[in-house]
Amino acid sequence: MAIQSVGVIGAGQMGNGIAHVFALAGYDVVMTDISADALEKALALIAKNLDRQISREKITVADKEATLGRIRTTSLLSDLGLADLVIEAATEKESVKHAIFADLVPHLKPETILASNTSSISITRLASRTGRPERFMGVHFMNPVPVMQLVELIRGIATSEETFGELVAVVEKIGKTATRAEDFPAFIVNRILIPMINEAVYTLYEGVGSVKSIDESMKLGANHPMGPLELADFIGLDTCLAIMNVLHDGLADTKYRPCPLLVKYVEAGWLGRKTGRGFYDHAGPEPVPTR
């Protein structure tokens, strides 16, 4: 099947980036969200990010106009029914994803590929309740989507070879690099990355170092472009905690126990950049460490 149209569920940080790269690559995109305000903000952000690409001479003004012309927004899941590929990029909660698929699947064409951008949840388990597990896959983009090169492709136990091959071709067409990950909790990137962040939070929690000293140590001592606590704020502390819980529950190993300080920050609603406060206060022009 030649994939020409793409549906994107969720207009947040990941969803708008996915819509951006597909539309720029020439696909017709329908993006949906339960919030009309979120859809409006997503289009504005896509336009802003396209302007950034123009300023870096990666695309032209004509490319921007064509890209925006290929994106349509809707609040109705049923409007994604004619898409050849639908990518779910909703919040990292399994119950939410199951509810979305239950509403969506009756509207899909038999041949449509359904994918999830989940960063940690079992693809086999998500696929099992869609009625089309052979046409279901994990397609995990990295954030920010227009910038990051990698896409993790995760097959569930029932995913067909044909479906996998079609998505390998799609990833290549949008200018990304695909890596295959097996269907184990958090796959490859987050299996390694999020426990590192959790350990950084433990280092802060136990008083080994301050926010500033921990991040500077990893940037200057390990040549990381961003410190782990700064990165946690960028990802969202709620997302980090959700992934740690998936690892802890799925692998039953105490080394994946979420740090109590990470839990406390999430309980306080201090989720990082998106709420203005996490391990840094983001209210001013420069982030200020909160500990």
Angstrom distances, CA of residue 56 to CA of 50, 59, 256: 10, 8, 41
CA nearest to 134, candidates 166, 106, 103: 166
Please state, in angstroms and rounded to a whole number, the distance separating the CA atoms of residues 171 and 265: 36
35 counts as catalytic: no
Q: How many helices (H) and strands (E) are present in the chain, helices listed first?
A: 11, 10
HSE, side-chain direction, 13 A CA sphere, residue 265: 33
Angstrom distances, CA of residue 275 to CA of 214, 223, 237, 269: 22, 28, 10, 8
Q: Which residue is associated with the tokens 């001479």?
A: 57
Is residue 143 marked as binding?
Answer: yes
Is residue 119 marked as binding?
Answer: yes
198 counts as catalytic: no
Is residue 10 marked as binding?
Answer: yes
Handedness of CA 259, 186, 220, 265 (dihedral sign): negative
Beta pairing, strands 85-88 & 288-289: unpaired
Is residue 222 marked as binding?
Answer: no
140 counts as catalytic: yes
Is residue 88 marked as binding?
Answer: no
Percent helix, strand and coil across the chain, each to the nearest 5: 50, 15, 35
Is residue 4 marked as binding?
Answer: no
Is residue 12 marked as binding?
Answer: yes
Q: Which residue is associated with the tokens 């992934």?
A: 243
DSSP annotation of 134? G
119 counts as catalytic: yes
Is residue 33 marked as binding?
Answer: yes
Is residue 63 marked as binding?
Answer: no
Is residue 11 marked as binding?
Answer: yes
State the catalytic residue, choosing from 88, 152, 166, 230: 152
Q: Which residue is associated with the tokens 């819509």?
A: 19
State the catalytic residue, choosing from 88, 120, 122, 140: 140
Binding residues: 10-15, 33, 92, 97, 119, 143, 274
Binding residue numbers for NAD(+): 10-15, 33, 92, 97, 119, 143, 274
Residue positions annotated with a catalytic role: 119, 140, 152, 190
